[in-house]
Amino acid sequence: MRAQDGDAAAFSCLVERHWIPLVHFARSVVGDAEAEDCAQDGLVIAWSKLAALREPGAFRAWLLRTVARLAFRRARRSARYVSITEAADTQDPASAVGPETVDVEAVLSVLAPRQRAVMHLTVIESMSDSDISAALGIAAASVRSHRRRAREMLRRVLQPGSVPGVKK
């Protein structure tokens, strides 16, 4: 890969190719406001570590992992993740799913960053468990576990009246 030899123009081509899916992914993990900054920072980090990439064919998964690590750090720092109890006290995620509009960010706030990442790659990117495992650097069993917990959490949050303290 020419970009690995320090060819910035070749790297720019890679940025153009991967920009949109990276922003989509970052949006699900860190939210809309920070998504593009996160993706851009991840790409700059990727450039600096590109020489360490052993298999150029695995670039997509490697890039996703680089951005995911950064996104997890940002998500933890900005504490977008709130427990379901906190969510129930401070907002009503279920009410975010109205007949006309859905406040996706409000609902996602009850999921842990890794759960958001796994769900995004499953639902939106339609990736297999092994691909998600490679992209996030976690075991396939962990992928399934994160997804199961995320779905349980979403079901709890999205069912009207199922969460104690959630006002309807």
Partner 1 sequence: MSPNDSRDPEDRFLEAWKHWAQRPPRQSPAEAAAAVSRRLPLRQQRRSWWALAAAAAMTVTVALAVHWSIFVRRAAPPRPTINLQESAPMSKGEVLIWLDDETPLYMTFQPPENGPAPGNKS
Name the residues that contact partner 1, by CB under 8 A. 6, 8, 11-13, 15-17, 19-20, 23-25, 27-28, 32, 35-36, 39-40, 43-44, 47-48, 97, 99-102, 104-105, 107-108, 119-120, 123-124, 151, 154-155, 158-160
The residues near 144 (Cβ < 8 Å, ≥ 6 apart) are 129
- Which residue number, 6 or 139, has a Cβ lying nearer to partner 1? 6
- Which residue number, 10 or 141, has a Cβ lying nearer to partner 1? 10
The two tokens of residue 72 are 């997890």
- Which residue number, 24 or 69, has a Cβ lying nearer to partner 1? 24
Q: How far apart are CA 122 and CA 138, in angstroms?
A: 14
- Which residue number, 27 or 80, has a Cβ lying nearer to partner 1? 27
Question: At which residue do the structure tokens 């570590």 appear?
Answer: 49
Positive/negative CA dihedral, 51, 55, 59, 64:
negative
Is there a contact between 58 and 4 (Cβ–Cβ < 8 Å)? Answer: no
Min dist. Cβ of residue 102 to partner 1 (A): 4
Min dist. Cβ of residue 154 to partner 1 (A): 6
Min dist. Cβ of residue 97 to partner 1 (A): 6
Min dist. Cβ of residue 45 to partner 1 (A): 9
Q: How far apart are CA 81 and CA 49, in angstroms?
A: 29
Min dist. Cβ of residue 28 to partner 1 (A): 5
Burial string for 104-113 (b: 16+ CB within 10 Å, else e) reads eebbbbbbbb
| Maximum separation of any 2 CA atoms in the chain, in Å | 58
- Which residue number, 57 or 160, has a Cβ lying nearer to partner 1? 160
